[in-house]
Amino acid sequence: MARVEIYTKWGCPYCVRAKALLDRKGVAYEEHDITMGGPRRDEMMARKPDAWTVPQVFVDDVPLGGCDDIHALDRDGKLDPLLGLA
């Protein structure tokens, strides 16, 4: 199975939707809460400099984007192979 990381903020509805999709697929993920900024936010920005919003999802260190992006990948049948589910 792939290593999945997701950067989130407290109260973010898009973060909730993205995590719900991963949960439905039974995917374990490491969540990084950047609500208060700090080193995790800096880490996210270093990994994907144009990432100004959350969530930001990474699979095996490859940035997939946010909630809409992973839902689009799922609709197109491209998310499962990335997650190692296909």
User: How does pLDDT run along the chain (86 residues), one tens digit per residue?
Assistant: 899 999 999 999 999 999 999 999 999 999 999 999 999 999 999 999 999 999 999 999 999 999 999 999 999 999 999 999 97
Bridge-based pairing of strands 62-65 and 30-33 is unpaired
Question: What is the CATH topology of the domain spanning 7-83?
Answer: Glutaredoxin (3.40.30)
The pLDDT of residue 40: 96
Break the chain into its structural domains and give their ranges.
7-83
What pLDDT, on the 0 to 100 scale, is given for residue 82?
97
Integer Cα distance of 15 and 11 in angstroms: 8
Rounded-to-integer distance, Cα 64 and Cα 4, Å: 10
75 class by beta-carbon count within 10 Å (0-12 exposed, 13-18 middle, 19+ buried):
exposed
